[in-house]
Chains A and B, each alone.
Chain A
C-alpha cells in the first residue's frame, strides 16, 4: 500500500515538475522600425515650404496647414 502510494506520489511529482520545463510561448514578433514622418517622402507630392529631415519645419508646416480647417481664418465670425 505504502509502496503504491510512494510510486503514485513520485509520478505525480514528476508530472507537476514537468511544467517547470515549459518553453515560453510568446510569439516573439514585433513590427519593423518605421521611418520618422519628418524624414520626408520618396514621392514628388511633398508640400512646399518644408524641408525633409527638419523636424521643426515639418511641425510648423502641419500646424499651419491645420489652420486651413479653421474657416474663421478665411471669413471672420459675424459679430454677436
Chain B
C-alpha cells in the first residue's frame, strides 16, 4: 500500500468547518485544541480560497527531526504518530511544523501546558487498537476499523480527500481534468517532497485555464 495522504481541493472547500467538527466530535478533542482547522486566504474578497489544514503526515517530518525525546514514529502506512507517555510538551515540534499541526492543551493564559496533541490520521497511538487508553489519549482508531479519517469521509463537498496517496491523487487528477482548472494542491510539495501524479503546486501549470 502507498502512503496515507491528505489532499485539500481549494476549488471545492466552502469553509463549512464540517471537517473540524467531525474531528472534534470523533476524538473528543478538548477546548482550545484544534487538530484540524479551515484557513481562508483573501477572506471576503471575490475569489477567496479556503483549505482545511491539519498534520499532513510528511514524508520527511520536521517534528520528528527536532523532538528531543524521540516521541514520534511512523507507521507502515506513513502515518506520523507520537507517544504521549514520552512527550514532554516542550513545543519544539510546533515551531518546526510548517502546517501548525501540533497543539497543546492549556489551562488559562498563564496556566500549565500539556502534552502535544495532533491529527493522528484517525490511527490512534501506540496503545492497543481500539482500547480505552488509546481513545483517552489519541481518540478513535478508525484506520484499524477499516475506515478512513472522519474529516475526509464527512466532507460534504469532498474537498478534503484522505487515504492511500495513489487513490486520492487519482481522484483529484480526474477532477482537475474534468473541470480544467484548480490543479494546485497547497501543502503537497512541502509535505510530500515534490508534486506527483499530476498534482502541481504552481498555478501556471493548470491545464486549459481560461
Chain A interfacial positions (CB closer than 8 Å to B): 27, 29-43, 45-47, 49-50, 58-59, 61-63, 65-72, 77
Contact = CB atoms under 8 A, between A and B. Distances in A.
Contacts of A66: 148, 161-164, 167-168, 171
Given A27-B69, A32-B85, A36-B76, A41 B167 contact: no
B97 interface: no
A67 B75 contact: no
B82 interface: yes
B1 A31 contact: no
B82 A31 contact: yes
B157 to A, nearest CB: 9
A40 B81 CA distance: 18
Interface string B143-158: 1111110001101001
Contact of B68 (A27, A61, A69): A27
Interface of B: 1, 68-73, 75-77, 81-83, 85-86, 123, 125-131, 140-141, 143-148, 152-153, 155, 158, 161-164, 167-168, 171, 174-175, 178
Given A35-B128, A62-B143, A66-B164, 17 more contacts: A27-B68, A27-B69, A27-B70, A34-B126, A37-B144, A40-B129, A41-B145, A45-B145, A46-B144, A47-B145, A58-B146, A62-B1, A65-B163, A68-B153, A69-B163, A69-B168, A77-B178
B86 A42 contact: no
B148 A32 contact: no
Contact of B73 (A34, A38, A58): A34
B52 to A, nearest CB: 13
Given A31-B70, A32-B126, A39-B129, A46 B164 contact: no
A29 B70 contact: yes
